[in-house]
Chain A
């Protein structure tokens, strides 16, 4: 069975600082994708970043980057230069063979 675990229910970061959100997963498949989605108070699910499992290089999108450790089944999200607009729920998402699993989410608070 596939699982996704986010062990940090809530995190806080000072504006302009860096924060890392953790995600671990379990799957027996070799072909899968991993994503981070952001859900602000509007409840819209917004794609932050994606990672193909077959790619060793960590994905980067502007201030967002991941640390993908395939052997350890770890997929953490680093947010640099945090902004007030980054405050939201962040969900780790595993897309496998017709199986789509979300983690329980991490609420990120950004302090001015």
Chain B
């Protein structure tokens, strides 16, 4: 158990809908990262937050957005969902904010299925 929690474990929804994935980092970690794992794109970094502020952006679509709240939990919002958004979404956390971050600890993931 990494100490990172994600809810829900599974999510099934229809095209065009909007969903919110939630992540709680390890105790004391200020950085949260979101990744998408799909069959065709592999594991891709989406976005990083540090202590409530956006720190880095990867291949995140405009339909996707994220935020980190004062209690440090983070939410990833996916809207206008398409079939291709079906994937496993991971959250990770670390206790560093520097540009070359140290170890990231991963949550169990949320499996999103778009029908």
Q: What is the interface of chain A, defined by CB distance below 8 A to chain B?
A: 29, 31-33, 35, 37, 42-47, 50, 91, 95-102, 104-105
Contact = CB atoms under 8 A, between A and B. Distances in A.
A98 B109 contact: no
B109 A33 contact: no
Interface residues of B, number: 25
Contacts of A46: 2, 106
Contact of A99 (B42, B56, B109, B111): B56
B43 A96 contact: no
B1 to A, nearest CB: 9
16 contacts: A32-B100, A33-B101, A33-B103, A42-B108, A43-B88, A43-B108, A50-B102, A95-B102, A96-B99, A100-B33, A100-B48, A100-B56, A101-B45, A102-B35, A102-B43, A105-B43
A15 B102 CA distance: 32
A98 B99 contact: yes
A91 B44 CA distance: 12
B48 A45 contact: no
Contact of A50 (B58, B92, B103): B103
Contacts of B99: 31, 96-98
B89 to A, nearest CB: 11
Given A33-B101, A50-B103, A100-B101, 19 more contacts: A31-B99, A32-B100, A35-B103, A35-B104, A43-B108, A44-B106, A44-B108, A44-B109, A45-B92, A47-B103, A47-B105, A50-B102, A97-B99, A99-B45, A99-B58, A100-B33, A100-B35, A100-B58, A102-B42
